[in-house]
Structure 1
Amino acid sequence: MSHTAHIPSHRKPRRSASKLAVRAGVAGGVLSTLAMAGTASASPAAEPATETTLEMPVLNMDLGSQVSSAVIKAADNTRAQALVGELNAQEETARTGAAAEAKLAKADAQAKADAEKKAADEANRQADADRANRGEGRTQLASAKGSTGGSSTGSSASDDDSGVRAPATGSAAAIINFARNQVGKAYVLGGTGPSSFDCSGLVQAAFRQANISLPRMSQDQSSEGTSVSLSNLQPGDVLYWGSRGSAYHVAIYSGGGKFIGAQNSNTGIVERSLSYDPPTGAVRIL
């Protein structure tokens, strides 16, 4: 075996053909690039290409603020419209309520006026009837006197010889005393006491003192008991004006040629002579 078999050679190893070809290509490319650069620097400078640039509009406002302001404004408008609507509704309600109250007040005033007119008409009718029947009553009383030949056989216009000069007693006294205690009080149509009466209300209340219940109306009161002549009256008899069963006025004979009655709104409750307003007839209930 040779003594130099394992000693490495000092010569450079040969490069492969493929590596040499790559190196040659790279070098050629570099040289070509340098040549083109030199040519370009030697030729006149070409004019730079002009580029067209589109400028976008610049927004100088704060979109967030603008949107927020618009929302707030819209909300304010909505609240304002709602408030206006509510005020209009309240105004309409107030107007409707005021109209209803005015209508009720007008109806009440009309009803009151109608009632007052009705009472006044009734009082005037009764006063007219009183005046119309006074002449008739006087004629009948005069006829009754004439039928007795002017003798003193008990004419109700004078108690000198009528047999009723003695004071009333018992139930009659209770009735007359009550009626007399009401003299001076007011006449009010429909009144039944204690501060005011109409004619039949007074008679009904007076007879109640004797535990006697009479109907409320003068027509019915004139139908009670038995008929008596005006020449034979006794204290406590019920006098009536008109015809029996349809009388328009009643009173109580108090004796001594007098009666107690609630005459009208002008005179109130009075005790007067029969000649002041002669009755048409009388009934005895006691």
Structure 2
Amino acid sequence: MSLTAHIPSHRKPRQSASKTALRAGVAGGVLSTIAVAGAAGPAQAEPVTQTIEMPTITSGLSTAVAASAQATQQVALDLETQANEDAAAESAAKKAKKAKAEAVRKAEAEKKAEAAAKKKAEAAERASRTSVRTTLSASSGGSGSSASSSSASYSSSNATGSAAAVVAFAKAQVGDAYVPGGTGPNSWDCSGLVQAAFRTVGVDLPRVSQAQSTFGTQVSLNNLQPGDILYWGSAGSAYHVAVYIGGGQFVGAQNSNTGTVQRSLDYDRPTGAVRVL
């Protein structure tokens, strides 16, 4: 055998450059894909990091929810308080209305009772004076009956001089109150009014009706003149006096119910009269 004889080789045939380049390109592509996948892996993991931070967001949200709940509770409390206040105000208004109605009813009842008492007192006073006059008339043999006759005549002439001043003063006090012991200027008792009337003309009368009924000259009720002093009861123990103003009229401070009034002699006929002027 020749030394130069061809010996078969077991090496694989050398690949061509194009195939080598192709394989290199494929390998590079795979490696690039792996690299891209590796790079994409960490980028997609960032939401995990944000999820770890969620407790901070949840904590802030809890605080806001708690504040909102507290505000809602406060509003509810305010509404409840307002409702209670409105209910209390309505209840107070109802009570006040009821109390006012009761006060009005009570006032009306008292007014009616006062009117009834006034009427009763006036009737009692008239009855008392009638009884006194009857007793006095009986003790004097009936002489009083002629004085109370409806045919009796009274002087209706106009007052003059001092009598006119007395009459004018007495009439000016009509409507004033009656007060026991009253001597004016806006409240009187019977003798206080008569005394003040005569004081205007310089006549100083005694203070009480008993003494006034004997001060001056006794005159008949059939011959009265303006300015005469009328009295009820007997002379020296009279329980009431007034001023005769003419025309069958007198002015007197009667009682606490009527006050100072002008009346006809027929309203409450006097027992006697005295003339001072």
- Structure number with higher helix proportion: 2
Instruction: Give the alignment's TM-score, normalised by structure 2.
Output: 0.50
Instruction: Give the alignment's TM-score, normalised by structure 1.
Output: 0.48
Larger radius of gyration: 1
